[in-house]
């Protein structure tokens, strides 16, 4: 077995793909939590496990947009859950 074949086989394995996907989610969360030009979005966005009968009615979470710059106006145009990778983004409008 050549080293290239072994590497390709490893990269296609479910374990590798799962870890790679988790790393992308983690990076996206860290990036989303970072201060963006003195603008932050705060709130509890951990939905944990939601029972199907509750999910059908929808789950609401409150978010607060804050800035340290006076007189700055901010609007949250859209958001996307990390778990919905590949799905359409949700829109606030």
Residue 61's pLDDT band (cuts 50, 70, 90): confident
Task: Please provide the average confidence, as pLDDT, over all residues in the chain.
Answer: 78
Nearest of 42, 34, 88, 40 to residue 61 by alpha carbon: 42
Q: What pLDDT shows up at residue 86?
A: 55
Decide if pLDDT at 9 tops 60.
yes
pLDDT in tens, 71-88: 888 887 877 766 665 555
Helix (H) or strand (E) holding 27: helix 14-33
pLDDT score for 84: 64
Segment holding 52, helix H or strand E: helix 52-57
Spatial CB neighbours of 40, under 8 Å, sequence gap ≥ 6: 65, 66, 67
What is the pLDDT confidence band of residue 1, given thresholds at 50, 70 and 90?
A: low
């Amino acid at each position: 077995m050549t080293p290239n074949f072994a590497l390709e086989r490893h990269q296609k394995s479910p374990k590798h793909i799962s870890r790679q996907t988790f790393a992308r989610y983690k990076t996206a969360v860290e990036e989303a939590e970072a201060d963006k030009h003195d603008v932050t979005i705060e709130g509890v966005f951990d939905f944990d496990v939601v029972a199907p009968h509750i999910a059908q009615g929808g789950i609401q979470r409150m978010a607060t947009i804050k800035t340290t710059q006076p007189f700055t106006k901010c609007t949250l145009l859209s958001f996307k859950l990390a778990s919905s990778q590949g799905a359409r983004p949700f829109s606030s409008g």
